[in-house]
Structure 1
Amino acid sequence: MSSLTAYDAFANRLGDWTTTPVVFENEFYQLPDTPAPFVYVEVYGDTYDQDTVGAPQENVWLERGVTYLHVMTPSGQGSRLARQYANSLLYLFREQPISTLFMPDMSIGAGEPGKDWPGYWAMTASIFWNRRDITSIPTP
């Protein structure tokens, strides 16, 4: 899982999204009786590597990760609406760094081209990111 800094940065920016509900990993969400679009978000930190060699507590750390924005739409209605929402979501982040995150690569459907879930179909927008942490070792 990602650092709290990365998670909070994405959560804060996604607060600007008002088109559909946004649900983060391990949050309770009551699916409506009639399927309606929503976005399911997963924020992963893949690595947390030392980027410099310095005195203790003076190193720079590089965290790399990916954020998945699963655009959930009702099954059987095609992929156009999901693609439209995925593209709009990515525009919240394109050329707009947040906090200490840099997002050089984004995709729609790469690796997760679309999945069926009971009553839903998912189109995934992926944001690959990195973050330099120039603070000392994080405290728990």
Structure 2
Amino acid sequence: MDLPYDEVFDAIRDYLGYFDVHTNAPIIGNWDFSVAPLVYENEGDGSPSGEIKSWVLVILNSQLYGQQSIGGGIDAGDNRWDEDGTIWFHVFTPRGIGSREARRIAKGLANMFRGKTMLNDRLEFLDADMGAGDPGAENANYYLMSVSIEWRLIEAE
């Protein structure tokens, strides 16, 4: 049995850009990595340079799957099944400089998804929420502010 790749994760990562974990080569997307490099889940646990500077941890979670129709065919698998979830951007800025820079980065990331669709309009981005900052949650050197964006994939595969 061939296991599927996560098309939502791949679409978001391609849209934003990333560093190839095998070659460390930058794959250019729409996010400006000079503002704050993005680190995707399980690809690192801090600033890519090791310096104490702004960076963002990107995490994607989802609910698999919500049945949206009844009577679409012989068995339940023939119906429409949607997937929905949340993309989290955990913005880390150096501690002691205030929250303004963290808010700027968080809002910039959220704004990139406002009204955005992907995967032939099957993937849509919904409400965004900027949570309260939490100083030193990951590391005593950093201030953490998170922004989350709800998403829905229509007719998930």
Same fold, TM exceeding 0.5? yes
Counterpart of 2:44 (choices 28, 31, 34) is 28
Residues matched between the structures, number = 130
Structure 2 residue identity aligned to 1:17? W
Q: Partner residue of 1:52?
A: 69
Misfit runs of 4+, over 2 Å: 28-34
Contact preservation (8 Å) 1:13, 1:92? no
Counterpart of 2:123 (choices 101, 110, 130) is 101
Distance of 2:57 and 2:64 partners within structure 1: 22
Cα deviation code 1:1-49 (max 9, x no counterpart): xx70111121112111122211111112554454100110000003411
Shift of residue 133, structure 1, vs aligned partner: 1.5
Q: Go from structure 1 to structure 2 and tell me whether the alpha carbon gap of 1:85 and 1:30 turns closer, same or farther (over 3 Å shift).
A: closer
Fraction of identical pairs, as percent = 32
Higher relative contact order (CA 8 A, sep 6+): 1
User: Which segment is superposed worse, 97-106 or 34-43?
Assistant: 97-106
Q: Where does structure 1 lack aligned partners over 5 or more consecutive residues?
A: none
Contact preservation (8 Å) 1:72, 1:121? yes
Q: Compute the RMSD of aligned alpha carbons.
A: 1.8
Q: Where does structure 2 lack aligned partners over 5 or more consecutive residues?
A: 18-29
The normalised TM-score by structure 1 is: 0.83
Q: Partner residue of 2:11?
A: 9
Distance of 2:61 and 2:103 partners within structure 1: 22
Q: Give SS of 1:133's match.
A: coil
State the structure with more CA Rg: 2
Counterpart of 1:78 (choices 86, 98, 103) is 98
Shift of residue 77, structure 1, vs aligned partner: 1.0
Q: Partner residue of 2:58?
A: 41
Q: Give SS of 2:78's match.
A: coil
Structure 1 residue identity aligned to 2:31? W
